[in-house]
Each structure stands twice: as structure tokens, then as C-alpha cells.
Chain A
Amino acid sequence: DGGITQSPKYLFRKEGQNVTLSCEQNLNHDAMYWYRQDPGQGLRLIYYSQIVNDFQKGDIAEGYSVSREKKESFPLTVTSAQKNPTAFYLCASSPAGGRYGYTFGSGTRLTVV
């Protein structure tokens, strides 16, 4: 079955540590997105990529980095510069243009300990 796989499901980070969240899709979608979800704030866009080897900052990119070396993969690194990283992170993909909606992964819950 086609879909998006996010791993791990739960992740714990120590202060000052970088962590990488994995996102893989087998839907042959061109575009991929990373969102952060906090209670009462909805989904906020971190980064998005329309094509391999190209990506753009979203609304809250500070403290995060991404790469898009393969069409299927769009990993997100949460760096130590991100002051409040505890959140639910969602990866999504869509055909080019995204006008017909996204397919989301099941999310990664990141907690700072």
C-alpha cells in the first residue's frame, strides 16, 4: 500500500542535542512538507520541498534544517538552536501543486528531557 512512513513514533532529546526525524513516501509525490502541531495552534509549516534538491522555508523554519536528496525522502533535523522543540511533527506529501490536499504520515512526538 502506498503511504508516508514517519519514524520514530516517539523521540526524546536532551538539551543541546540535534535529532533527525525520518519521512519516507512511496506515493511518487513531487512535493513534501513538514508541519509542527502544538495544542491550540493548529499546524504550522516548517519547510517544504517541491522537487528533489530544492526546499523552501515555511513560517517557523528557525532551528530546523532539511534535505531532499531523493524524491521519496525528506528528513527533518531539529537542531539545538530550536528553543522549544517539544511538539508533534507531521510530514506530508502531495502531487505537484498540492491543490487537492496532502497525504499525512502518522507523526513523530518529540519531547525534550
Chain B
Amino acid sequence: QKEVEQDPGPLSVPEGAIVSLNCTYSNSAFQYFMWYRQYSRKGPELLMYTYSSGNKEDGRFTAQVDKSSKYISLFIRDSQPSDSATYLCASNAGGTSYGKLTFGQGTILTVHP
């Protein structure tokens, strides 16, 4: 079993829709959670970062972590065609894992006009 599981999709939504992207993880030591956005043939870019449980909002994006159920979510409001990309969740335990991020498989999102 992978430590971080993510539905690869693909996910296709109309412009303006609310998008929900989800990951589950199995390592109870994970404390730091990130979402990356990756456009085709480009490197991933950090979109959201959260520590422990709770919500974090940045513009149209909201990241949510529920450590009790080991569930990570990213919500995109008023989705735009420019949001079409692969979204990767990632987690880090800190401490002795020293910087090693564990990534999900990525979800391919297409927002059509």
C-alpha cells in the first residue's frame, strides 16, 4: 500500500464549478501537507501548505487536513480553464525523515469553457 493515495482521475469539470481533490495517507507521523500544481511538461509548483489538522484558504483555493481520518483535500472555487493541470498532494513527517516528501500519484484536472 502506498503511503499517500490519490485518485488519478482524470477529472473534467465545466468552468465555474467547485472542484474537490482528495488524498488519503497511512503514515500517522505525517504532520506537514502540501498541494502542488503541475502543468504539462513543467515542474510542480507549490500551491498550498498546511501543518497538522485544519483549513487554510488562499484566494480560490482551500486546503483541508483531517488527521483523525488521514484525509487531505483541496477545493478550488470558481474553477478556470487555467486551473487545468495535474494536482499532487504530498506529506512529510518532519524529524528524522528530514525533508523527504511522499507524493500521491497526482490527479489530472481539466476545466472546460
The 9 closest A-B pairs by CB, nearest first: A98-B99, A104-B43, A42-B105, A43-B103, A101-B46, A42-B103, A106-B43, A99-B32, A101-B34
Q: Which residues of A contact B100 (CB under 8 A)?
A: 45, 48, 58, 98
- Number of B interface residues in the complex (CB < 8 A): 25
B 88-105 to A, binary, CB cutoff 8 A, 1 in contact else 0: 101010100011110111
Is the beta-carbon distance between A40 and B105 smaller than 8 angstroms? yes
A-B CB contacts (within 8 Å), total count: 65
CB-CB contacts below 8 Å: A38-62 with B: 40-43, 45, 48, 50, 58
CA distance A90 to B99 in the complex (A): 16
In the assembly, what is the distance between CA of A61 and CA of B11, in Å? 32
Q: Which residue of B lies closest to A42 (CB)?
A: B105
Would you call B6 an interface residue if the criterion is a C-beta within 8 Å of the partner chain's C-beta atoms?
Answer: yes
